[in-house]
Amino acid sequence: FLEVKSLYRNSDEYLGKSVSVAGWIRTSRISKSFGFIELNDGSFFKNLQIVVDENKIDNFAEISKLPISSSLLIEGELVKVDNAKNPIEIHATKVVVEGESDSSYPLQKKKHTFEYLRTIAHLRPRSNTFSAVFRVRSVVAYAIHKFFQERNFVYAHTPIITGSDAEGAGEMFRITTLDMTNPPLNEDGSIDFSQDFFGKEANLTVSGQLNGEIMALAFRNIYTFGPTFRAENSYTARHASEFWMVEPEISFADLEDNMELAEDLIKYIINFVLENCPEEMAFFNSFIDKGLLDRLDNIVSSDFVRITYTEAIDLLLKSDHTFEYPVEWGCDLQTEHERYITEQIYNAPVFVTDYPKDIKAFYMRANDDGKTVRAMDLLVPGVGEIIGGSQREERYEVLMDRIKEMGLKEEDYWWYLELRKFGTATHSGFGLGFERIIMYLTGVSNIRDVIPFPRTPKNAEF
Ligand code: 4AD
Ligand code: MG
């Protein structure tokens, strides 16, 4: 069977010839002796029109009664037509019904809400929107690997099961091998979870960064790309319990180099997707977010804004907008603040740097002012934060003091500290939320709709 994508892309090669395709009926309009089937074979966003004629196939009556979503094997001549929507079609000479669909198939032609489609995650990849979103997701993953591999970065695989809390924020899912019907107990009668992982405490990773730093201090430039888990019980449109993160880590590189890398990566991804998924992107622009293509075009051709946290706070304080969360120096930026800065003030992606140390992780390099750290977040219109990163604290004593000051256990981080003892180097990195960049590229506003099988609190079906 030929792929519908290759029939569209190389139609000249096949015109007038007999071809075979296999796919599912998206719609059909069939009258007494003649009709049209829109077939989707999954290889391409667009459907292929199949013309069925009573005089050309021997099972016309059977075909004309088939419900949507039935799967077919088709043979016929590929014909060019003067129609912008369907420039080619197949005039069927043979149609084999592979699997007749039940007529209760829920994805009929009418428009469904995203909320409803989430309840049928086993069928939603067949809808136009999700077909486009999940294909773009795949293409973006490829673009990310291509970007880093072209720059000679080593793809480092970091563990999912880990004993350390990379963010020091305590938002980890525990894993356990304990027999919970008869668990080991502490003296006070509570369960002794320190025995979790065959006798050692373990969790699902919240970030591959610390392992990434180990690899970067051997290979210079590395990236990770894998699943991460956060046990935040938050029901927002931008947080998932399981999400994918891309974490480059670069040695002999400071925060400026880090931001340059991040900006290059985002622009590369946008260009790659515009070039490789034009049909999907045109669809998003028409049906999800009308200004999408203009915005993306604009972004690849302009420089991202760079401001410090202190400047961002000043801008927010000066604005006449009333925020739900009050703004003052030292507060964490909430989504409403982030979106105000990037959407109302700049209408462009904005790097915010040098956050107060008290709202950032222990590993960020301290600035000389004693109050801020070399952090950077990238905020984009429509989504807010898509990247969080920093220059890392490479000074052994300073890092040790910070770990103690934050109440973290020194012995949990002994190997991380040793990296600063054996040939320390200026190094930096960031984490790009994979789902967040997909939201940004598609205009889809809920993270549940850019993950095939989302894991958010209370949601683990499918
Ligand atoms: O800002 P975060 O927490 O940074 C880190 O984890 C660092 N260790 C990264 C590094 O420097 N190597 O997370 C990075 C990004 C966020 O900017 C956001 O895009 C995404 O990961 N993210 C989430 N995406 C979906 N659901 C969640 N619960 C997320 N938490 C973070
Ligand atoms: Mg962050």
**Residue 396 alpha carbon to ligand 2 centre in Å:** 24
pLDDT computed for residue 180 by the predictor:
83
Sheet order of strands, 242-251 included: 154-155, 221-229, 242-251, 427-433, 384-391, 375-380, 350-353, 305-308
Helices (H) and strands (E) in the chain, counts: 14, 15
pLDDT in tens, 377-402: 999 998 999 999 999 999 999 999 99
261 lines ligand 1 (CB under 6 A): no
Residue 360 in 3-state DSSP?
A: coil
240 lines ligand 1 (CB under 6 A): yes
Band of residue 141 on the pLDDT scale cut at 50, 70, 90: very high
* Of 264 and 195, the one with more pLDDT: 264
392 lines ligand 1 (CB under 6 A): no
Cα 103 from Cα 99, distance rounded (Å):
12
Q: Which has the minimum average pLDDT: 126-130, 160-164, 346-350?
A: 160-164
384 lines ligand 1 (CB under 6 A): no
**Residue 228 alpha carbon to ligand 1 centre in Å:** 9
- DSSP E strands in 136-282: the ranges are 154-155, 161-162, 203-204, 221-229, 242-251
Sequence-distant (6+) residues with CB within 8 A of 108 are: 68
Q: From 223, 243, 428, give the residue whose CB has the most ligand 1 atoms within 8 Å, as the site to mutate.
A: 243
Kindly report the protein residue whose alpha carbon is nearest to atom 18 of ligand 1.
Answer: 433
Sequence-distant (6+) residues with CB within 8 A of 7 are: 14, 19, 21, 48, 78, 88
**Residue 245 alpha carbon to ligand 2 centre in Å:** 12
Kindly report the protein residue whose alpha carbon is nearest to atom 27 of ligand 1.
Answer: 239
Band of residue 71 on the pLDDT scale cut at 50, 70, 90: very high
Sequence-distant (6+) residues with CB within 8 A of 47 are: 4, 26, 27, 38, 39, 40
Asked if 439 contacts 382 with a C-beta cutoff of 8 angstroms, the reply is yes
Confidence check: pLDDT of 195 > 80 = no
- Other CB atoms within 10 A of residue 358 CB: 11
> Phi/psi of residue 305, each to 5°?
-75, 145
> Phi/psi of residue 378, each to 5°?
-105, 120
- pLDDT, averaged across the chain: 95
Residue 433 in 3-state DSSP?
A: strand
> Phi/psi of residue 214, each to 5°?
-55, -50
pLDDT in tens, 404-438: 999 998 998 999 999 999 999 999 999 999 999 99
pLDDT computed for residue 85 by the predictor:
84
> Phi/psi of residue 33, each to 5°?
-130, 5
- What does the DSSP assignment read for 49-81? EEEEETTT-TTHHHHHTPPTT-EEEEEEEEEE-
Confidence check: pLDDT of 26 > 90 = yes
Confidence check: pLDDT of 109 > 80 = no
Average pLDDT in the 49-74 region?
97
- Other CB atoms within 10 A of residue 438 CB: 25
Kindly report the protein residue whose alpha carbon is nearest to atom 15 of ligand 1.
Answer: 433
pLDDT computed for residue 179 by the predictor:
84
pLDDT computed for residue 194 by the predictor:
78
Asked if 23 contacts 48 with a C-beta cutoff of 8 angstroms, the reply is yes
- Other CB atoms within 10 A of residue 206 CB: 23
Kindly report the protein residue whose alpha carbon is nearest to atom 31 of ligand 1.
Answer: 433
> Which pTM does this prediction carry?
0.96
Average pLDDT in the 98-105 region?
96
Q: Which two tokens stand for residue 462?
A: 């499918």
**Residue 151 alpha carbon to ligand 1 centre in Å:** 23
Q: Which two tokens stand for residue 309?
A: 């946290």
pLDDT computed for residue 165 by the predictor:
84
265 lines ligand 1 (CB under 6 A): no
pLDDT computed for residue 183 by the predictor:
87
pLDDT in tens, 237-277: 999 999 999 999 999 999 999 999 999 999 999 999 999 99
pLDDT in tens, 291-337: 999 999 999 998 999 999 999 999 999 999 999 999 999 999 999 99
DSSP H helices, 225-364, are 255-276, 278-287, 292-300, 309-318, 335-339
